[in-house]
Amino acid sequence: MRPSLFSSGTLACLVALALPMISCTSTRPQTAREKHLGRIELGPEAQVTPDGLNRVETPPDYGVLYVKAPRPHLYRYQGIVVARLNITYKRDVMPWTHAVEDRLRDRFATALEQQLEDHTGWELVDAPGPGVLVLIISALDIDVSAAEERVVGARTTHSAQAGEAILMVDLRDSLGGDPLARFIQKHTLPGGMYSGTDVEYQRVRRAFDRFAHRAALTVEQLRSAAEEVRAEEAAASAP
């Protein structure tokens, strides 16, 4: 059973394609900490979430990334459990039935778990426990605005891009709920060719499929970055 540990109202989530490289004017090699965590905002001017995550400086159009300062100790975890997908709608208008929404959740969970198995070093587990992270993904303020559609053939429709959703990922300790990393990104719902009549559902599903791939890669990059920092610091402190 997938855990349902946090309501959508408590979320604000994580995920990034990779932690950004810090610019450095020195000719010495960057340490792993500088390379991966050098842009965490610290001090009185830092942007900090209500639950204590510090914003990471990122390029324009990258998304909003927060991590636990001075660094998230992700290397302490061996497993990861996927929580039930949180979904909210803009203006509280749901464009389909609860049965269709459940289909959307099941589809996304299957896609995400497959991506996690293929791309991450963590074991995918079924329940919270010691050494287990919980991955909470949310699709918030979904706005399936009426897109320009053109019928192509008997059962094919070409849809323009329209509408949007805020897609977010949150990594937390599965037992205590302590936040470790969070990423927020706004996505325009994709256009393209669709068959059948449920074009709105298919557009959101396609956006979710793409995001599942991106989320898994991001989670692995965060894990690898934390492990690289830990290994370098351990080597430096060795006698």
Q: What is the pLDDT of residues 182-207, one digit of tens each?
A: 988 887 777 777 776 777 778 788 88
Residue pLDDT, tens place only, 116-160: 888 888 889 999 999 999 999 888 888 876 666 666 666 677 767
State yes or no: pLDDT of 34 exceeds 70. Answer: no
Q: What are the tokens at 86? A: 């949180």
Q: Which residue has the higher pLDDT, 60 or 66?
A: 66
pLDDT of residue 150: 63
CA distance 80 to 58: 26
pTM to 2 decimal places:
0.72
Angstrom distance (rounded) from CA 105 to CA 101: 6
Q: Is the pLDDT of residue 174 over 70?
A: yes
Dihedral angle at the C-alpha atoms of 77, 80, 84, 89, nearest 10 degrees?
Answer: 70
Mean pLDDT of 78-85: 91
In tens, the pLDDT along 8-29 reads 333 322 222 223 322 223 345 5
Mean pLDDT, residues 78-94: 87
What is the pLDDT, as a whole number, of residue 176? 92
- Confidence (pLDDT) at 152: 64
The mean pLDDT of 80-91, rounded to a whole number, is 89
The residue among 210, 221, 177, 207 whose CA lies nearest residue 87 is 207
At 159 the pLDDT is 65
Amino acid at 172: R
Nearest to 119 by CA among 228, 16, 237, 218: 218
Q: Are 180 and 155 in contact (CB under 8 A)?
A: no
